[in-house]
Amino acid sequence: MVDTVSEAGRTPEAIQPWAELGLKEDEYSRIREILGRRPTSCELAMYSVMWSEHCSYKSSKIHLTRFGVLDETTPRGPLLAGIGEQAGVVDIGDGWAVTFKIESHNHPSYVEPHQGAATGVGGIVRDILAMGARPIGVLDPLRFGPLEAPDTARVLPGVVSGIGGYGNCLGLPTIGGEVVFDETYAGNPLVNALCVGVLRHEDLKRAAATGVGNQVILYGATTGGDGIGGASILASETFTEGGPTKRPSVQVGDPFMEKLLIECTLELFEAGIIQGIQDFGAAGLSCATSELASSGSGGMHVNLNTVPLRDPSLAPEEILMSESQERMMAVVKPEDVDQFMAICTKWDVLAAVVGEVIEGDRLYIDWNGERVVDVDPKTVAHEGPTYDRPLTRPAWIDQVNADAAEVLPRPSTGEELAQELVKVITSPNLADVSWVTQQYDHVVRGNSAMAQPQDAGMLRIDEETGLGVALSTDCNARFTYLNPHQGAQISLAEAYRNVAIVGAEPVAITDCLNFGSPEDPEIMWQFVEAIKGLVEGCQALGTPVTGGNVSFYNKTGEVAILPTPTIGMLGVIDDIDDRVSTGFSREGEVIFLIGKTREELSGSAWAGVIHNHLGGNPPAVDFEHHKNLTAFFQTVSKTRLISSAHDLSDGGLGVALLESCFIGGKGAEIELEGDPFVALFSESTGRVLITCDEFQAGAVQALAGEYSLPITKIGVTTDGSELVIRDLFTLNIDEVRTEWKSTIPRALGLL
């Protein structure tokens, strides 16, 4: 028997599984208060998923409003769309705009690594598509448990194959990301996915149902039982007895269907017949209908019997909750429906009219001629619970901060320095990740100007002018653990730096805030401090937050992940031919170090790898210095004064030197000033290695002076196969590179 609205009115005492669906008692009571009766089973399902942490941001939204103080103007102009839209949109000049966003698919990627990661890519791609843009590239910051842990051998290859398989089939280059290992991610890997798309200003689309009488069309894949409850704690038991008792909680992706959906949608945009559009993401049809209706100027009436199903046994609650992939919902004028259907037929994309825009402010959903949903869509989509959860500065943090790495035993001879440098660079978090990145296509579509192992990915936007964008994703969770406010700023600064040194102007960010349980006051303190740090940093740098994602409840047992606020930075470069590459590729060039090196070793890779130590205070961040870096690199890239640049971050100068040798294929001879240990392993922020022709050295130094940038000549590039640190040690580059490249495949049993 279908639980209808009229039945709900007649049976207020009926027992409902609100707790099993993840609702609190007061939330269930609030739903009854809103409706003036008990909810139907379909309404209960809708509210439970839309009011989940993942969909409603109920523990974070009061803190996310802090981003509202940021000026929504980038160095290239005002945002065309910002927080609250499906993705942020940035004006990059000449009538072009770029939309980009990062989201998480963490828990599904642990349960089923391949499909969890694949559908994470598919979901973020559709968010970009729904803004009216053609998706053009992907970045994937990944975090796993210890590399040697048995379960990592299951999760890591599955996640990588999911990302590569889905993105490659879509014809989207994967141009950047991270691969990080830490014991806190065991049982809770982080799979964050960023997509970037391009559009003309006039092509921008919104998610709103407007125009009474306009038709609501569901198009793309059929609706099945996969993904039900993927965004919430949807009960494993169905709402009716005798039906299937379990549905898979991880969605199943079909990248070939998504590719057809992309091309079909872009042709629909070109035809000018879409009045509003919404991606099907978390919460499926519940989300698409309620968000479109609540953001529009009217209500909506939907008939579930018209939804194309691949499983005819689905109950109406399951149709509403299904998170089957590769689906979109569009609002279309009646006179344009035939053309819409014709275009879908051309691309072999299934489409069906499932409803229409109506007068008023109600969302009505029918099933078998009975009304199963009668709600104000705003109460479902935008007026869920808001929690101002307690937050407490952890009592343990003072003790951790007092345990500084600067007092740990240090190498005292050149031989010991060399041994520890090799141990650091061949450790899992600094080793070569080409086993991962080679499974991704990074040149498809022919517009990739830079990709891993470069410091930032870069894509051409306009073939005629060379206009392009650069992107980087970064996060130092170790520093964020020591000081969430400062650690978030370090992550922001690193992403900013990586985009700036390739010659692009950083303009805006998207963030994916991955934390433990919001019900833990200490975790909430970490979360709020990180947001405060990002707000201050973005204000100082002039890079607004365009949107992003919050992922809570990342913990295994009682162990929360390291606080991981991943930053995606977007930069604009006027001509990609002016880009600056990573690596020593020319012999006889001068090597300069820009920035000051301080004795800042707490939270460093050296402390973690050599001493398994995490304590002390993270390095300081100077945002004015970073803005000067951007101005400097804008000039040297356009005037071609330098031939390479490489950011110093994890591992410090020693690691950056070896990476530059590995990537560019040349050696180097270096003379260090001061304490060689501090010089090699400090992780002071705001530092960059650059190389230039010796005849340009004076001009480079003078220009650095104009921008108040400390600059020190530290050596020259050589045609040899050695990294020579004068008077201390010499490393054979080929031998170290071999070890560096083997760390990950050896741990996975592939060597």
Give the tens place of pLDDT for each residue, 576-588: 999 999 999 999 9
**pLDDT(672) > 90:** yes
Let me know if 429 is exposed, middle or buried by CB neighbors in 10 A (0-12, 13-18, 19+). buried
> What pTM was estimated for this model as a whole?
0.95
pLDDT at 520: 97
Residue 238 scores a pLDDT above 80:
no
Which of helix, strand or coil describes residue 26? helix
Share of the chain above pLDDT 90, in %: 93
Q: What is the pLDDT of residues 465-474, one digit of tens each?
A: 999 999 999 9
Catalytic residue list contains 54: yes
Active site residue 114: no
In this prediction, residues 521-541 reach a mean pLDDT of 98
Residue in the block written with tokens 């149902």:
209
Q: Residue 600 — very low, low, confident or very high, per pLDDT cuts 50/70/90?
A: very high
Architecture of the domain defined by 5-61+205-381? Alpha-Beta Complex (3.90)
> 676-697 b/e with 16+ CB inside 10 Å = b?
bbbbbbbbbbbbbbbbbbeebb
| Per-residue pLDDT tens digits for 324-354 | 999 999 999 999 999 999 999 999 999 999 9
Give the per-residue pLDDT at 488: 98
Cβ-defined contacts of 399-402 (< 8 Å, 24+): 400/481, 400/482, 400/614, 400/615, 400/616, 401/482, 401/483, 401/615, 401/616, 401/617, 402/615, 402/616
Q: How confident is the model at residue 239, as a pLDDT? A: 28
- Average pLDDT for 507-532: 98
Handedness of CA 596, 597, 603, 608 (dihedral sign): positive
Do 168 and 443 meet the contact criterion of CB atoms below 8 Å apart?
Answer: no
Alpha-carbon distance 327 to 219, whole Å?
Answer: 6
Distance between CA atoms of residues 278 and 291, nearest Å: 8
- Read off the pLDDT of residues 351-365 as tens digits, 9 standing for 90 and up: 999 999 999 999 999
Q: Specify the pLDDT at position 272.
A: 96
Neighbours of 414 (CB within 10 A): 15
**Which band of pLDDT confidence, cut at 50, 70 and 90, is reported for residue 230?**
low
Mean pLDDT of 40-60: 95
Catalytic residue among 63, 105, 626, 646: 105
Confidence of residue 234 (pLDDT cuts 50, 70, 90): very low
The average confidence (pLDDT) of the chain is 95
Residue 62 CA to residue 50 CA, distance in Å, equals 17
- Local confidence band at 235 (pLDDT 50, 70, 90 cut-offs): very low
279-283: average pLDDT: 87
The per-residue pLDDT for 247 is 43
What per-residue confidence (pLDDT) applies to 243?
38
DSSP category for residue 183: G
**pLDDT interval class at 567 (50, 70, 90):** very high
- Section 217-244 average pLDDT: 60
Residue of 206 and 417 predicted with greater confidence: 417
Does 297 have pLDDT greater than 90?
Answer: no
| pLDDT score for 705 | 97
pLDDT at 233 over 60: no
Residue 636 has pLDDT above 80, yes or no: yes
DSSP letter at 432? -
CB-based burial of residue 244 (10 Å sphere; 0-12 exposed, 13-18 middle, 19+ buried)? middle
Asked whether the beta carbons of 350 and 220 are under 8 A apart, the reply is: yes
Residue 392 has pLDDT above 90, yes or no: yes
Q: Across residues 679-702, what is the average pLDDT?
A: 98
